Structure 1
Amino acid sequence: MTSRDGGIDDKPGVTIRCQDNPSVRVEFCDRFSLDEDSVHYAVELRAPGLTARADEVVAWIWDSDLAPFLEELAEDYRGWDGERSWQTNDGDIMVSAVFRAGGHVGLTWTLRPWPEAAGGWTASVTTWLEAGEQMASLTSDIRHFLAGEQP
């Protein structure tokens, strides 16, 4: 399940909750843009015993962003074999997707800020969503969030 919501300061964001365990979630928040070529935002992962955040993730307008990747997954709601993956240009965020029987998509969200830095860290959570409507809703929410639009 996804939802567009504002935080305490009423800034837009997107929350993806795992339908199997709603305490597992991914939050896109704190979006800003310094120029016409990029969008910056933060991603938070939350699960029992885990809180991780990557600040200033960058989406470049000339790169393939997250929305088209999610759109392809939503369009293939009947399923696929194997794993599909996407990552930001600098590798701060990676998303891998698998399809399981019953029409559900498992999205494993991995944060790895500063992947080249010594002593860096990695954190992952997996959210399960319905392959059809929930994936289509997530795609729309992410597209609006990255574009800075209200739905």
Structure 2
Amino acid sequence: MLSAPQRPWQDAVLDYLVSITGEGLEAEAVVTSLEGDSLDAYFSDLAERFRGWEGVREWRSLEGQLRIVAKWSSRGHVTLRVHLRSTHHRDVWETSAEFDVEAGAEMDALSTEVAQFFAASR
């Protein structure tokens, strides 16, 4: 989940909060980006490739707090592995979680949500 977009210097730098929740997992970290580092374009590309692709498609934030690896399966789903790490030097941690998303309508909806999040932060 993406939330709390802020522009600390009123320029292209955009900080936002990423939260991952799942069975026995709750993690959140602030991600620093330049205008979102084209995360919206990454999800748009995944949605457009609903018929699949070879290998993995990977995206990484500017400072590496967030990394997403997408793999298409022949079942018509995309497995998203989301890697999240802290930005605090005293308390370093990293976690990841995997989510399956239907390659058609669910991926389109996710892509739209990400695009709307970054459009609202401009």
| TM, length-normalised to structure 1 | 0.72
Unaligned stretches of 5+ residues in structure 1: 1-26
RMSD: 1.9
Matched, 1:30 2:20: no
- Bigger fraction of residues in helix: 2
- Deviation of 1:75 after TM superposition, in Å, equals 0.8
Report runs of 4+ in structure 1 exceeding 4 Å deviation.
Answer: none
- C-alpha deviation, 1:33, in angstroms: 2.4
Quick one: distance in 2 between partners of 1:114 and 1:40?
A: 12
Shift of 1:36: 3.2
Partner of residue 109, structure 1: 82
> Are residue 41 (structure 1) and residue 13 (structure 2) matched?
no
Task: Check conservation: 1:31, 1:40, Cα contact below 8 A.
Answer: yes
Distance 2:32 2:16 in 1: 7
Unaligned runs of 5+ in 2: none
What is the aligned residue count?
120
Residue type of the alignment partner of 2:34: W
The alpha-carbon distance between structure 1 residues 33 and 119, as it changes in their structure 2 partners (threshold 3 A), is closer
Tell me the equivalent position of 2:111.
Answer: 139
Q: TM-score scaled by structure 2?
A: 0.88
Residues 88-117 of structure 1: CA deviation (Å, up to 9, x unaligned): 0100000000011221001111101239x4
Matching of residue 123 in structure 1 with residue 95 in structure 2: yes
Q: Secondary structure at the match of 1:79?
A: coil
Q: Distance in 1 between matches of 2:91 and 2:4?
A: 26
Question: Which amino acid in the other structure matches residue 93 of structure 2?
Answer: W
Q: Partner residue of 1:9?
A: none
